[in-house]
Chains A and B, each alone.
Chain A
Amino acid sequence: MKEEQRTLVSPNRHKEFVVTGELVEIRDRAHAGETEKKGQPEDKTGKRLSPPEILTIEEVARQPVDGIDTAKALSAMADIGPEARLFVYRPEGQAVRYEVFEDPRVCPEVHRGAVIENLKEKPRDVSGWRTHDFFIDLKGCLGDECGRCAIVCPENAIHLRGKGKGSFHEIDPLACKGCFICWVECVRTAADCILVDGKTFDPGMRAKHFGE
């Protein structure tokens, strides 16, 4: 028996929230009632409800914001000083709400609420942390058939190069902190694949890591 469905009241004009029993499904308002289309996944990046922007006085001065009285906003921001921010909410490109306020969280390093915007983080050179050098020998690497080392690497230091038969993995020497995880997890038990300090096989080191 099909369970009864109901839609939640929501101010979101793009998505609707459909409750079936205890499950909440989120779907586009346009597609309400339709079954999901099979085939090529749509690129929804542009369609997604964008979050509000919080702009500094320099950013507003550089690029006027459409749909609002930028001059008035700028003068209000100038009254407050360098802590002034302009909040603009443009869910569909048009400003529906904007507000000038004094940001109590002025520290440039820490975002509002200690939220870290992941893509803005710059990679750091951690090569000084490691005591051994790691290198993947492309002769031994299975390429895109395997990819286990890239998955397990905690620092995302291992990247796939190439496609198909000729593909192989590569370790970013700046990002590798020498944790041995790829070496332990390698499906080929690192035999002629991951070289540690130029050596493919070191009984002493194996004993240390595998307890053999």
Chain B
Amino acid sequence: MATVMAGNGAAAWGFRLSRVQCYPYYPITPSTSCSQQISRWVYDGAMGAVTINAESEHSAASQIIAAGKNVRAGTATSSKGLLYMIEVLENAAGGAIPCGLFIGNRATGAPINIWADHSDAYAMRDSGLIQIFAADGQESLDSIIQGYRIAEDLRVRMPFAVNLRGFTGTHAYEGVEIPSQEEVDRYLPPFVPLYSLFAPEKPVTYGAMLSAYPYRRHKRNQMAAIGNAAEIALKAGKDFAEKFGRSYGHFEWIGDRKAELVVALLGESAAAGEVATRHLQGKEGIPGVALLKIRLFSPFPAREIAQALNRAGTKAVIVFDEGLQHGGVLPPLAQRITAAVHLHLGGKGPKIASVIGGLGGSEVRQEHFQLMFNLAANIAEGKPYRPEPYWLDIDEDPIFVEQENQVSPKLWKKWGEIWKKQPRQEKYCAPIPPDTEEIRIYSRAGQGAITSAVGFTGAGIENGYRLVTVPAFGSERRGAIITTDTLINFHKERRIRSFMRAWDVVILYDDTILYSPEHRVLDGLKEGGALLVNTSHMSVKKIRGLLDAGEGRVRIFTAPAAAVSEGLGLKHINMPMLGALHKVYDKVPFDKALGYYERNVPRPREASLEAIRRGHAETTDQEIQRTRKERRLLVSQDFLDWRPEDHSQESWPSALEEVQIG
């Protein structure tokens, strides 16, 4: 039975089920809620561990190393926090101390940016850690459990890091299967320290200074040890599949077995790539396509990847990197794949081009993968291509250029010959028809939109659908307009967690959003889709007039959520809006969902449940006469007469008076 939780929550379960005994941490966006959840469990006594509130990431890393000598230790971090840890983490790798890190991948400054890319993981690349890239919450939970098994193996004894893309991975709420503690205990043996803690009769020194002769020999051994991790990861993945039914390897090959065109990438963005690959598979005039989703980044399974490409008869590989190697020839993943192909296949290998995208929280969408497959097809046909990275979504420097005047003359002088020979092919770039149903909520931060969307997701998952909710983060300011998106996937066997951005339902938690010049709420709404507005005084007709949309374009519903919540003494309007959503969108049946809500609504439970029911009942697409209750601020004469020179305690005007009219 899947439980709805965010990627960070799943990672916390990974640490809990691995029976982590020491968890020092220093919180940083976007991995904070993982540490928060663990420290809550430790406080409640649900998890037998010691958490330490470290004074910095540097200390947290030092503490996991100190603890990792004798107990199972772990921590979570991101971005600059990880960069601050690197100085210490090299000691864990060199000192053969197995410990675990969960990393919510985030950009590194400057400019400061809290959103996702792989810059931090790439910065850690040469610190000697085993690096695993997970694509969703479930994979990060499973990878942490497997990570301890790999890291503690006697042939390895190395720290490991599980990476998950920030926000789209760490804050995406979806169904996660939590294995039972007994099952995990059978899979993961207890930690065995190699030296006793405090043994006066056999004292040892960790991190001693070594001169060149023993140092170089030790470093060679360290490389051999991390090299062993590849083979052990494969075995750990196979055992995991036997026990839990979810299989993991070095990489996942999604698409055709014989694939001429391949896009290789790491981690979560594969969700969008998967949709594009499945769409292009078997289309007329398109050769075999596949997505190479690499899971084990360090140690890099070079031989296996080269062999897989060789076996599939691949002609062109596009390597998609969400990070840079400043001053390097190619970004890190592209460089590793190029080296692998060159060393293991020599001249027979496929041609490799590099694309950089998804930086600093940039969306990685299906159409980007369509462009990449198009580029791969051109390269496979023998067209010239750039010997340096292409960029995604840069208007001044696109992948395909139709006319010369589209780019600057300087750029045209440099790449014009290549652009002229690289056609944009319609069969690759035609829009993908939507296969899922999607709901978007516009709300103001603090209104509880995420809580209600997560509730809806839980109810949907319990009823056997696959739902994902991804909230937008960033405008961390109460009252700012934010979006929360939910995807409903009716294919039981197929995993889809990438949004088409074609909304079936758009919900406004506040009617003033209709006036926002920045938010055109009908953008992206499907023809004939539904718009649900929380309003106490606007009529359907008025909303239709404001949006200038006909009956065929949009069905409009209104819900008096504020009045319902006020009547029940609730602070938030999210519960009535949850009920209203079920009225507008009935694919997740309300009566079945109520069973889930009865067990899971936030406190006060009775009032919240009643609010959901009333919200459902009172939502309508009809014109109804509401008693007009208008509030206006009246300014008293005292206030207008007041001058700064009169300012004193006694003469302070009682300025604002609230008067009801009507």
Contact = CB atoms under 8 A, between A and B. Distances in A.
Interface string A33-50: 000000000000100111
A109 B207 CA distance: 15
Contacts of A115: 95-96, 195, 204-206, 208
Contacts of A97: 189, 192
B226 to A, nearest CB: 9
5 smallest CB-CB distances across A and B, nearest first, come from A113-B96, A9-B48, A104-B224, A105-B221, A104-B225
Contacts of B196: 48-51
Contact of B21 (A8, A99, A110): A8
Given A114-B207, A114-B210, A8 B48 contact: yes
B154 A113 contact: no
21 contacts: A10-B21, A51-B199, A52-B194, A54-B194, A97-B192, A101-B155, A103-B155, A104-B156, A104-B228, A105-B222, A107-B214, A110-B214, A110-B217, A115-B205, A115-B206, A115-B208, A116-B204, A116-B205, A117-B204, A118-B203, A119-B202
Contacts of A19: 50
A51 B195 contact: yes
Interface in A95-146: 97, 99, 101-107, 109-110, 112-119
B21 A116 contact: no
Interface string B148-165: 000001111100000000
Interface residues of A, number: 37
A104 B221 contact: yes
B50 A8 contact: yes
Nearest to A107: B217
Interface of A: 6, 8-11, 17, 19, 24, 45, 48-52, 54, 85, 87, 89, 97, 99, 101-107, 109-110, 112-119
B190 A101 contact: no
Given A51-B194, A117-B204, A110 B210 contact: yes
Interface residues of B, number: 44
A97 B45 CA distance: 30
B157 to A, nearest CB: 7
B493 interface: no
A114 B208 contact: yes
Contact of B214 (A50, A102, A109, A119): A109
B218 interface: yes
Contacts of A117: 202-204
Contacts of B382: none
B225 A114 contact: no
Contacts of B206: 113-115
Contacts of A6: 45
Contact of B221 (A17, A52, A85, A110): A110
B49 interface: yes
Contacts of A48: 196, 199
B96 to A, nearest CB: 3
Given A99-B154, A107-B218, A113 B97 contact: yes
B95 A89 contact: no
Contacts of A8: 21, 48-50
Contacts of A54: 154, 194
Nearest to A6: B45
B201 interface: yes
Pick from A24, A87, A112, A113 the residue with the most CB of B within 10 Å: A113
Contact of B217 (A45, A85, A109, A112): A109
A114 B210 CA distance: 8
Contacts of A24: 50
Contacts of B94: 113-114
B284 to A, nearest CB: 52
Given A19-B50, A107-B214, A114-B210, A89 B45 contact: no
B323 to A, nearest CB: 29
A116 B208 contact: yes
A150 B285 CA distance: 86
Given A51-B196, A99-B154, 5 more contacts: A24-B50, A101-B153, A105-B224, A113-B194, A118-B203
Contacts of B193: 51
Contacts of A109: 213-214, 217
Contacts of B189: 97
A119 B190 CA distance: 29
A101 B154 CA distance: 7
Contacts of B204: 115-118
A11 B190 contact: yes
A119 B153 CA distance: 27
Contacts of A87: 154
Given A105-B225, A119-B202, A114 B218 contact: yes
Interface in B328-364: none
B157 A113 contact: yes
A112 B156 CA distance: 10
A118 B228 CA distance: 29
Nearest to B218: A110
Contacts of B45: 6
Nearest to B205: A116
Nearest to B220: A107
A47 B50 CA distance: 25
B154 to A, nearest CB: 5
A117 B204 CA distance: 4
Given A107-B214, A110-B210, A116-B204, A89 B192 contact: yes
A50 B204 CA distance: 14
A51 B195 CA distance: 5
A112 B205 contact: no
Contacts of B217: 107, 109-110
A121 to B, nearest CB: 9
A24 B205 CA distance: 24
Contact of A104 (B48, B97, B155): B155
A51 B194 CA distance: 6
Interface in B199-250: 199, 201-208, 210, 213-214, 217-218, 220-222, 224-225, 227-228
A9 B199 CA distance: 23
Contacts of B155: 101-104
A186 B206 CA distance: 32
A82 B527 CA distance: 72
A46 to B, nearest CB: 10
A89 B21 CA distance: 20
Contacts of A103: 154-155
A17 B191 CA distance: 16
A107 B225 CA distance: 13
Contacts of B207: 114
B290 to A, nearest CB: 34
A112 B157 contact: yes
A118 B199 CA distance: 11
Nearest to B72: A11
A66 B324 CA distance: 55
A156 to B, nearest CB: 13
A29 to B, nearest CB: 15
Contacts of A112: 96, 157, 194
Contacts of B225: 104-105
Interface string B84-101: 000000000011110000
A110 B474 CA distance: 49
Contacts of B208: 114-116
Nearest to B46: A9
Nearest to B195: A51
A97 B49 CA distance: 24
Given A10-B48, A48-B196, A51-B193, A114 B95 contact: yes
A9 B16 CA distance: 12
A107 B194 contact: no
Contacts of B48: 8-10
Contacts of B205: 115-116, 118
Contacts of B218: 105, 107, 110, 114
